[in-house]
Amino acid sequence: MSEEQQQPVFSIEKIFVKDISVEVPNSPGIFLSRETPQVDVQIHTQGGAVDEGVFEVVLTVTVTAKVEGEKVMFLVEAAQAGVFTLRNIPQQDLEPLLGITCPNILFPYAREVVSDLVSRAGFPPVILSPVNFEALYAQGHTQADEGAETTH
């Protein structure tokens, strides 16, 4: 093989919204609520091979806002996906790229989609705080090592 074929390759092929959902189950009455909602944010990543050297990574963000304990103001879910080419990369480096680097690339897009969806639902935008995907990745591996189910 030539030296050029041995060079590591990492490139973004496509970034897209795979799935989005907005629910405002208690409308229109919920718009009269003056209570500050409790906002819960859940983040999940998954990645897998699409073809040889080509991978899809999906970053799913679920935001639920509730008032009066359990009354849902809104629920927004966005699955932001990307197709990445990763070639000539050592196996031990592949998982961290898929679990840390790719979600870091996708996160700003997911943050924008969530903010836009919440605004379109009639509420002030939710601006997601930065996420430490390295810590989530490490946490997922610690749980896997302990035999627990991994959900980031």
> Could you tell me the residue ranges of all domains in the chain?
3-23+41-59+77-145
The answer to whether 106 touches 112, Cβ cutoff 8 Å, is: no
**Model-wide pTM > 0.85:** yes
Please list the ranges in the chain whose pLDDT falls under 70. Answer: 1-5, 143-152
Distance, C-alpha 62 to centroid of its chain: 8
Give residue 69's pLDDT.
83
Give residue 152's pLDDT.
45
Give residue 14's pLDDT.
98
DSSP structure string for 3-56: HHHHS-EEEEEEEEEEEEEEE-TTTTGGGG--SPPEEEEEEEEEEEEEETTEEE
Give residue 30's pLDDT.
95
Give residue 144's pLDDT.
60
Is the backbone peptide bond immediately before 28 cis, with ω within 30 degrees of 0? yes
Compute the distance between CA of residue 43 and CA of residue 8 in angstroms, rounded to an integer.
Answer: 29
Q: Which CATH superfamily is domain 3-23+41-59+77-145 in?
A: SecB-like (3.10.420.10)
**What are 144's two structure tokens?**
């896997």
Compute the distance between CA of residue 78 and CA of residue 17 in angstroms, rounded to an integer.
Answer: 7
The answer to whether 47 touches 60, Cβ cutoff 8 Å, is: no
For 58-74, the pLDDT digits (tens) are 999 999 999 988 999 99
**Within 13 Å of residue 21, how many CA atoms lie on the same side as its CB?**
11
Give residue 148's pLDDT.
43
Compute the distance between CA of residue 53 and CA of residue 131 in angstroms, rounded to an integer.
Answer: 27
Name the strand (E) or helix (H) holding 64: strand 54-67
The answer to whether 15 touches 112, Cβ cutoff 8 Å, is: no
